[in-house]
């Protein structure tokens, strides 16, 4: 029997590509180039499955033009805001993602950004790096202490829960806003806020861990930022669409926010050049899940979903 033909859109970990080549007739992308809608539409006629990243956009218009040969999109990502799930469901195309396996890595980056923004890491690093560190005094580079402060989490899914665990290591009190309250064994003492407003009011630090959906787009805006305590710090390792970047910039410039830590931006790749004027914004280029271990785990999870699908079983991470 012929092996199913799978297009892996980006260069994945060597272990992932080796396993894929063992089990499938694989089209790889050794140049790691980004594919356009036209590429996706063309390739859909040549493969039974696509294993894409969040860099490939399956919007309604693209999905409408996909070839009937394509049966499954096994994403190498937990976020699926690049996929129009309603359109894909209507076309009968199975869609899966890779939850769980990137929670530790992403929470590490969230904590790095939280600590870095609080303790002025970008500014300090640049100063030493540029040979500009020429004095010291007790009033020099005084930052915001993290230990014992209140952390608000929006989206208490898997990443949010790991972030809460890490924050407890810093004696932070964890508050969260989520669609539903977690059971006590997952809540681990975190304080549930059914209303976003009450969460914002107690968030010395606010970390975003919810998916980007029409409902959550722009959830951080001038109005919600105003409800935070003065000198709060916002961390975003989820999706750029959650934040109104003009409002965030205004709050940094007015001093309402003491800082921000951002791994995600409205424009990716590239980010927001206006943020570069402020060294109390620590920025990273969407690398929340970028560890060797997690890349293997994401690749294997996507392949597990493909294996199940082509064995006639229900993929564990099927979304539609
Ligand atoms: C995810 O998995 O959603 C990460 O943002 C990387 O794509």
pLDDT in tens, 298-314: 999 999 999 999 999 99
Distance 176 CA to ligand 1 centre (A): 22
Q: Quick check: is 38 in a domain?
A: yes
CA–CA distance, 314 with 317 (Å, rounded to integer): 9
For ligand 1, which residues put their CB under 6 angstroms from it?
53-54, 77-79, 102, 288-289
pLDDT at 1: 73
Looking at the chain, the whole-number percentage of residues with pLDDT higher than 70 is 100
Q: Quick check: is 316 in a domain?
A: no
Put the strands of the sheet holding 49-51 in their side by side order.
Answer: 25-27, 5-8, 49-51, 72-74, 94-96
pLDDT at 39: 98
Residues of the chain with pLDDT under 50: none
User: Do 189 and 116 lie in a common domain?
Assistant: yes
Q: Quick check: is 225 in a domain?
A: yes
User: Do 96 and 245 lie in a common domain?
Assistant: no
Distance 255 CA to ligand 1 centre (A): 31
pLDDT single digits (tens) 59-83: 999 999 999 999 999 999 999 999 9
The protein residue with its alpha carbon nearest to ligand 1, atom 2, reads: 77
User: Do 222 and 149 lie in a common domain?
Assistant: yes
- Per the structure, how many domains does the chain have? 2
User: Do 136 and 269 lie in a common domain?
Assistant: yes
pLDDT at 213: 97
Q: Residue 28: give the domain boundaries.
A: 5-101+292-310
Residue pair 252/281 in contact (Cβ under 8 Å)? The answer is yes
pLDDT single digits (tens) 27-65: 999 999 999 999 999 999 999 999 999 999 999 999 999
Is 239 among the residues known to form the active site? yes
pLDDT at 18: 98
User: Do 97 and 186 lie in a common domain?
Assistant: no
Residue pair 199/190 in contact (Cβ under 8 Å)? The answer is no
> Domain of 9: which CATH number?
3.40.50.720
User: Do 270 and 296 lie in a common domain?
Assistant: no
């Amino acid at each position: 029997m012929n092996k199913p033909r799978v297009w892996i859109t980006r260069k994945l970990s060597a272990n992932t590509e080796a396993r894929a080549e063992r089990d499938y007739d694989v089209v790889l992308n050794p140049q790691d180039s980004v594919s356009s809608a036209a590429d996706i539409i063309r390739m859909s006629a040549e493969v039974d499955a696509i294993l894409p990243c969040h860099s490939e956009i399956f919007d309604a218009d693209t999905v409408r033009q996909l070839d009937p040969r394509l049966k499954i999109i096994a994403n190498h990502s937990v976020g699926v805001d690049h996929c129009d799930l309603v359109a894909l469901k209507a076309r009968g195309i199975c869609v899966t993602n890779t939850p769980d396996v990137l929670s530790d890595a992403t929470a590490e980056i969230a904590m790095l950004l939280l600590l870095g923004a609080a303790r002025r890491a970008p500014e300090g690093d640049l100063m030493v790096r540029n040979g500009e560190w020429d004095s010291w005094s007790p009033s020099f580079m005084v930052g915001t202490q993290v230990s014992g402060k209140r952390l608000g989490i929006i989206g208490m899914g898997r990443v949010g829960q790991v972030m809460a665990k890490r924050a407890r290591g810093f004696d932070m009190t964890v508050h969260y806003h989520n669609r539903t309250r977690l059971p006590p064994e997952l809540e681990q003492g975190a304080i549930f806020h059914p209303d976003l407003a009450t969460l914002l009011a107690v968030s010395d630090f606010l970390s975003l861990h919810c998916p980007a959906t029409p409902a959550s787009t722009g959830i951080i805006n001038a109005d919600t930022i105003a409800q935070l305590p003065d000198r709060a710090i916002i961390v975003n390792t989820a999706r750029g669409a959650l934040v109104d970047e003009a409002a965030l910039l205004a709050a940094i410039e007015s001093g309402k926010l003491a800082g921000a830590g951002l791994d995600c931006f409205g424009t990716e790749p590239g980010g927001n050049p206006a943020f570069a004027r402020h060294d109390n914004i620590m920025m990273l280029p969407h690398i929340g899940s970028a560890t060797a271990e997690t890349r293997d785990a994401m690749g294997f999870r996507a392949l597990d979903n493909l294996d199940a699908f082509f064995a006639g079983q229900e993929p564990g991470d099927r979304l539609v």
